[in-house]
Structure 1
Amino acid sequence: MTAAADGALAVTEDAYVPDRWSAHPYTEADLPTVLAFFTEPDFYFRTVHPGLAAEAEIVALLDEDTRVLCADGEPVGLYAMAPTDGVSAHYELDFRLRHCAPDTWWTAAYREIEAGLRERTEAVRLTVTAGEFDSRLLGILRGLPLTEEGVLEHVVLHRGRYRGYHHFVQLWGVE
């Protein structure tokens, strides 16, 4: 990972996998960095139209569950994990890394997030969704030890077409 002249993160395809992943709760001090994430046309963190969202709309996507994900101390994405409504030990995860992060980082980040969850609490089920328009995240999730449960079709308008969401799940302690 290197910093370009303008301070932007530059990653090459043969980039290393970060040694140290960390995260901190989103704060107002993170706003400039987070706003820059949403200028990427495929930064689908809780939105299907990141490049079209106004600052107030982006801020509305960020709640007390939102974490800024860092690779070796550099902010590279966002994630949020919350209990599934009314179901003990079931969690839902939203996560997104910057476009320049190689796929190996996405896999490593997911594994770190999942390990952190299991270290803090009992978890039986972790659910992640990806829009069918989001080929990058779909590919990442299909390469992880997740079960694809199906598609909820035609629920969101993306680029003039109604698209669905693929649902992936990881289970522990269930035989």
Structure 2
Amino acid sequence: MTVTAEEAVRPDPQAPPPVWSARHVTEADHAAALDFFTEPDFRFRTVRSDVLAEWEVLSLLDDARLLLADGVPVGLYAVENSGADHACHLMLQLRLTARLPLAVWGSAYHEVIRGLRRHRELVRLAVLVGDDDERGLAAARLAGLTEEGVLPGMTVGDGRRRGQVFFSRIWEPVS
């Protein structure tokens, strides 16, 4: 069954999408952020959060933003330059709590991308997702990102090598 972008963002046509906001992660947000990492498949900047000490998890938040849906913390995101600052190529790390329906993840991707484009020129946005990360793969596809391919053997977990699936979205340069 094919899911349209509208259905992905608003599974119930009567329910409005959440109001998205974000802020830098502060010390007051650490408890909420640490709670995300207790979920078995919460993969924000790591494929194995279950083996990290608390201080290691907190170090993943240094330049991250807390993502809120209707004022409630629901995930984290961070962006990094991919290449030179002026190239307008970014790498996005985004992860939401598994408590949210997958359809809402598409809405989050769209809002984060919209916000990024509002503040700077964006030519290429890249997203990496583990090839065994069903929720992450489905979310990237629902967000309409282009699947570029798999780089095999990038990580090791549970005694086997896993690949990373590359997704992207490209815009025409304006400058």
Q: TM-score, normalised by structure 2?
A: 0.86
Report deviation, 1:142: 1.8
Stretch moving more, 14-23 or 147-156: 14-23
Structure 2 residue aligned with 1:73 = 71
Question: Percent identity at matched positions?
Answer: 45
Q: CA RMSD in A?
A: 1.8
Contact (CA 8 Å) 2:20, 2:67: kept in 1 or not?
yes
Consecutive unaligned residues in structure 1, runs of 5 or more: 1-12
- Equivalent position amino acid for 2:122 in 1: A
Corresponding position: 1:125 with 2:124:
yes
Letter in 1 for 2:69: A
Q: Distance in 2 between matches of 1:19 and 1:109?
A: 9
TM-score, L = length of structure 1: 0.86
Q: Which residue of 2 aligns with 1:39?
A: 38
CA distance in 1, matches of 2:127, 2:168: 6
Structure with greater contact order relative to length (CA < 8 Å, sep ≥ 6): 2
Give the paired residue count: 161
1:146-161 mapped onto 2 (5 Å cutoff): 146-161=145-160
Residue 60 of structure 2 is aligned to residue 61 of structure 1: yes
Which residue in 2 is equivalent to 1:4? none
Q: Which amino acid aligns with 2:68?
A: C
Residue 16 (structure 1) shift:
4.4
| 1:35 partner SS | helix
Structure with greater helix percent? 2
User: In structure 1, what residue type is equivalent to 2:77?
Assistant: Y
The alpha-carbon deviation at position 29 of structure 1 amounts to 1.0
**CA deviation digits over 1:60-117, x for unaligned, max 9?**
21122x0000000000000001221325110110000001110111000000000001
Q: In structure 1, what residue type is equivalent to 2:80?
A: A
Say which SS state the counterpart of residue 33 (structure 1) adopts: helix
